Homo-oligomer: A and B are copies of this chain.
Amino acid sequence: MTQPAISRVLAPVVTPFDQQLEVDVNRLISHCQWLIDNNVGLAVFGTNSEANSMSANEKVDVLNRLHDAGLPPSQMMPGTGCCSIDDTVLLTRTSVSLGCTGVLMLPPFYYKNVSDEGLFRHFSEVVERVADDRLRVYLYHIPPIAQVGISLDLIDRLLDAYPKTFAGIKDSSGDWNNTEAMLKRFASRGFEIFSGAETFLLDNCRGGGAGCISATANVHPGPIATLAENWQSDDAVQQQQRLNDIRSAFEGYVMIPSLKAAIAAYSDDDEWIRVRPPLVELDESQRQHLVTTLVERSFEMPGLI
């Protein structure tokens, strides 16, 4: 297994919003602290953070406030990939200057059917403009949502050109064959491969991967982190089954509002229910059904603030 430079498990941290739909930074800090206390790193501004419903300026401001609150940059991997080079560079520079261990970088995702050559030029331009030896980029492959993906040949080319900069990838293709192909081709070069869900965590660890960056690490952090640390233990398969059992309770709903509904219910704080458009919160019956399912499965969120 590759020993990553950061936590083996990270959460794309869900973002609470207030009544004006502004980021509720105090609630966000509390949630980040709870994740850190449960041995999970902070992939703030991920897909599940509703980060692509936030402006670059807003993300810079929030990131500075998380840093000021004392959250450890060594455990942070902010999402910085935007459609424009300018926004991507702004967020990436901010992350590096605050000491974040890495950044999670989407490809530019508006224009479709773009070539590897065009994506290579985009990532190169970002790296050249940031111009900081501390930069560690984790590529973000999530074709179901971004539609624009990261091919194996593109990784190869980026690693050849910038071997110290391109540190790893999050594979949210949902396709184990793709993750396995990445492991076989790149793990031996120290490239850290994170699966995009804990469903593949054990397989990924066994194949030489680094861990996972998963939506449900927002609600089930401790047990996911435990498996990532103890994947060679006798009960690893049972641990994986338990993780799958909990995750499947969320998969009948749109993921982001269901994570927020669980946090709201388990912290008795309805402020957490809110999402930004174009997303819509779960309705009351959906929330009740989700919570009933979780309780039936003896799901807990110990220590949730």
Select one of B53, B84, B87 contacting A111, CB under 8 A: B53
Given contacts A55-B87, A84-B54, A84-B55, contact A145 B111 (CB under 8 A): yes
23 residue pairs of the A-B complex, CB under 8 angstroms, read A21-B85, A47-B110, A53-B83, A53-B108, A55-B84, A55-B90, A56-B56, A58-B86, A107-B278, A111-B145, A111-B278, A112-B144, A114-B280, A115-B278, A115-B280, A117-B280, A118-B278, A119-B278, A121-B280, A122-B277, A122-B278, A125-B277, A148-B278
Bound: A52/B82 CA distance, A? 10
Nearest CB of B to A273, in Å: 14
| Interface residue? A181 (CB, 8 A) | no
Complex contact B277–A85 (CB within 8 A): yes
Which residue of chain B is the closest to A146 with respect to CB atoms? B110
| Interface residue? A109 (CB, 8 A) | yes
Q: How many A residues touch the partner, as a band?
A: 35 or more
Contact residues, A261-280 vs B (CB, 8 A): 276-280
A110: chain B residues within 8 A (beta carbon) = 47, 52-53, 109, 145-146
Contact residues, A47-89 vs B (CB, 8 A): 47, 52-58, 82-87
Which residue of chain B is the closest to A280 with respect to CB atoms? B118
Bound: A82/B125 CA distance, A? 22
A125: chain B residues within 8 A (beta carbon) = 21, 277
Apart from A52-B110, A109-B110, what 11 extra A-B contacts exist at CB < 8 Å? A47-B110, A52-B84, A53-B111, A55-B87, A57-B57, A112-B147, A114-B279, A114-B280, A118-B279, A118-B280, A121-B278
